Amino acid sequence: MSDRSSELFARACACIPGGVNSPVRACHNVDSEPLFIREAHGSHIVDADGRDYVDFVLSWGPMLLGHDEPTVTRAIREAAARGTSYGAPCAAEVELAEAVIDAMPSLESTRMVNSGTEATMSALRLARGITKRNKVLKFIGCYHGHADPFLAAAGSGVATFSIPGTPGVPEAVVRDTLLAPYNDLEAVKAAFEAHGDDIAAVIVEPVAANMGLVLPKEGFLEGLRDCTRNHGALLIFDEVITGFRAAFGGAQARFGIDPDLTTFGKVIGGGLPVGAFGGKTTYMDHVAPKGEVYQAGTLSGNPLAMAAGLATLRLLKMKDYDALEAKTRAFATQMRDILASQGVPVHVPTIASMFCIFFSENPVMNFADAQACDHDLFTSFYKQMREQGIFMAPSGFETGMVSFAHCDNDFEKALDAARKVRF
Ligand SMILES: *Cc1c(COP(=O)(O)O)cnc(C)c1O
């Protein structure tokens, strides 16, 4: 049997670092080579050899409606025929901004960018500009894109200065990044006691979905809200994954928290490159040209990406999120029971249309717990599921995604495959 993916990967490795344009895709973690994808429709993707898979990656989150959703695809096609970028304002930017503000309880004003990374780096610059402070507190194992200040390594103690997590990030930059374990309010309080008058912002994934899936403990997000407010720091919700997924109104609607700034990506663009940051007008008025904090983008708000985002949000607004959550929960529960019956330690946390398979004796509450999972078991599971036509994220530190296009057959196929896995 020919293997187009292997052929393409060999060629890719000669002209792209590691053969991929984003590292986790390389499948190193699971001792595999990437599948090259030819096309995707609904809940399914097809690889370069024509093999079909049920997709639980969904481009790492954006495709909440499924791939090639007809209304979204039509909107993109029609927009493309009118030109793809003007470098001048267009109506679709206003409409998307209005739609995002309408959906998100805390938002009064928003600026479009081209990725989640741009959104978080811009939100942090804004928080620093407003507060005239330098430091940011982030949580170990949370991911906020690849901008320098967020690439601080785990491992140093709470409220101690961190070290760069990657070569190329100057120590001077991450010196201002404070780290705390997820779900650890005491560590946050200690950081504020030590550095409170220089902390510009706390940034958090309100549901942590980049160390596997870790839910916030009761009171954790409320505690962050109180702590930041008491110390004059801004609370930034990074809703790049949870926005329009944890609920249509994001995690902020789901948990009833009022963050100062919020960042978006993934679902907001319906599969095209869109990010956004926003918040109260009093904060957003500091952004240029209204204010003094500079931020810009040649392709920001381009009509093609806006059309995809707008069509996506308009459809999502009418969807039954509760029904999708119930389906996802039923799937996760069955998956856990099947794997547990095979004698492996397993936890399958789930919320909204997200789930994650942790091979662990104990529930995972933070990054250290996630690291302590049995990643060899995950690798074995991943490979056997893929051989049976189930496409999962190629790492135990990622979150499984379900779309409105997933049907009972898709879940059954995945559960059947899990029944056949041998550890
Ligand atoms: C994916 C992600 C980002 C980065 O978004 P990109 O579009 O990949 O730059 C930031 N924050 C969170 C929570 C994410 O999941």
Give me the helix-helix angle, 375-387 and 408-420, nearest 10°: 120
Q: Ligand 1: does its nearest atom lie under 6 Å from the Cβ of 265?
A: yes
Exposure pattern of 213-232 as b/e (b: 16+ CB <10 Å)? bbbbeeebbebbbebbeebe
Q: Ligand 1: does its nearest atom lie under 6 Å from the Cβ of 240?
A: yes
Q: Ligand 1: does its nearest atom lie under 6 Å from the Cβ of 169?
A: no
Q: Is the distance from CB of 330 to CB of 293 less than 8 angstroms? A: no
Query: Which pLDDT belongs to residue 153?
Result: 53
Q: Ligand 1: does its nearest atom lie under 6 Å from the Cβ of 121?
A: no
Q: Ligand 1: does its nearest atom lie under 6 Å from the Cβ of 373?
A: no
The Å distance, Cα 288 to ligand 1 centre, comes to 23
Which sequence spans correspond to the domains of the chain?
A: 3-65+320-420, 70-316
The Å distance, Cα 117 to ligand 1 centre, comes to 6
Q: What is the token pair recorded at 201?
A: 């912002």
The single residue of 135, 138, 189, 266 carrying the catalytic annotation is 266
Q: Ligand 1 pocket: which of 57, 59, 64, 144 to mutate (most atoms <8 Å of CB)?
A: 144
Query: Which pLDDT belongs to residue 167?
Result: 82
C-beta neighbour count of 43 within 10 angstroms: 23
Q: Ligand 1 pocket: which of 266, 277, 354, 401 to mutate (most atoms <8 Å of CB)?
A: 266
pLDDT tens track, the chain, 423 positions: 469 999 999 999 999 999 999 988 999 889 999 999 999 999 999 999 999 999 999 999 999 999 999 999 999 999 999 999 999 999 999 999 999 999 999 999 999 999 999 999 999 999 999 999 999 999 999 999 999 999 875 332 333 445 567 788 888 888 899 999 999 999 999 999 999 899 999 999 999 999 999 999 999 999 999 999 999 999 999 999 999 999 999 999 999 999 999 999 999 999 999 999 999 999 999 999 999 999 999 999 999 999 999 999 999 999 999 999 999 999 999 999 999 999 999 999 999 999 999 999 999 999 999 999 999 999 999 999 999 999 999 999 999 999 999 999 999 999 999 999 999
Q: Ligand 1: does its nearest atom lie under 6 Å from the Cβ of 206?
A: no
Instruction: Respond yes or no: is residue 382 known to be catalytic.
Output: no
Alpha helices in 61-182 (DSSP H): 70-80, 91-103, 116-131, 171-174
Q: Ligand 1: does its nearest atom lie under 6 Å from the Cβ of 250?
A: no
Q: Which one-letter amino acid corresponds to residue 75?
A: A
The Å distance, Cα 239 to ligand 1 centre, comes to 9
Q: Check residue 233 and report its DSSP letter.
A: P
Q: Which atom of ligand 1 is nearest to the CA of 210?
A: 15
Q: Ligand 1: does its nearest atom lie under 6 Å from the Cβ of 116?
A: yes
Q: Which atom of ligand 1 is nearest to the CA of 117?
A: 9
The domain made up of 70-316 has a fold known as Aspartate Aminotransferase; domain 2 (3.40.640)
Q: Ligand 1: does its nearest atom lie under 6 Å from the Cβ of 394?
A: no
DSSP bridge pairs for 112: 276
Give the CA angle between residues 31, 335, 381 to the nearest 5°. 15
Q: With helix as H, strand as E and coil as C, how does 160-227 read? A: CECCECCCCCCHHHHCCEEEEECCCHHHHHHHHHHHHHHEEEEEECCCECCCCCECCCCCHHHHHHHH
The Å distance, Cα 401 to ligand 1 centre, comes to 15
Q: Ligand 1 pocket: which of 240, 277, 356, 397 to mutate (most atoms <8 Å of CB)?
A: 240
Nearest-CA neighbor of 400 among 339, 338, 331?
331
Does 70-316 match 3-65+320-420 at the fold level?
Answer: no
The Å distance, Cα 201 to ligand 1 centre, comes to 18
Instruction: Respond yes or no: is residue 266 known to be catalytic.
Output: yes
Q: Is the distance from CB of 180 to CB of 158 less than 8 angstroms? A: yes
Q: Ligand 1: does its nearest atom lie under 6 Å from the Cβ of 144?
A: yes
Q: Is the distance from CB of 41 to CB of 63 less than 8 angstroms? A: no
DSSP bridge pairs for 46: 39, 52
Query: Which pLDDT belongs to residue 231?
Result: 98
Instruction: Respond yes or no: is residue 238 known to be catalytic.
Output: yes
The single residue of 135, 138, 143, 184 carrying the catalytic annotation is 143
- Tell me which CATH code domain 3-65+320-420 carries: 3.90.1150.10
Cα of 208 vs its chain's centroid, Å: 9
Q: What is the token pair recorded at 335?
A: 């998956």
Q: Is the distance from CB of 266 to CB of 63 less than 8 angstroms? A: no
Tell me whether the omega of the peptide bond preceding residue 289 falls within 30 degrees of 0, making it cis. Answer: yes
Exposure pattern of 65-90 as b/e (b: 16+ CB <10 Å)? bbbebeebbebbeebeeeeeeeeeeb
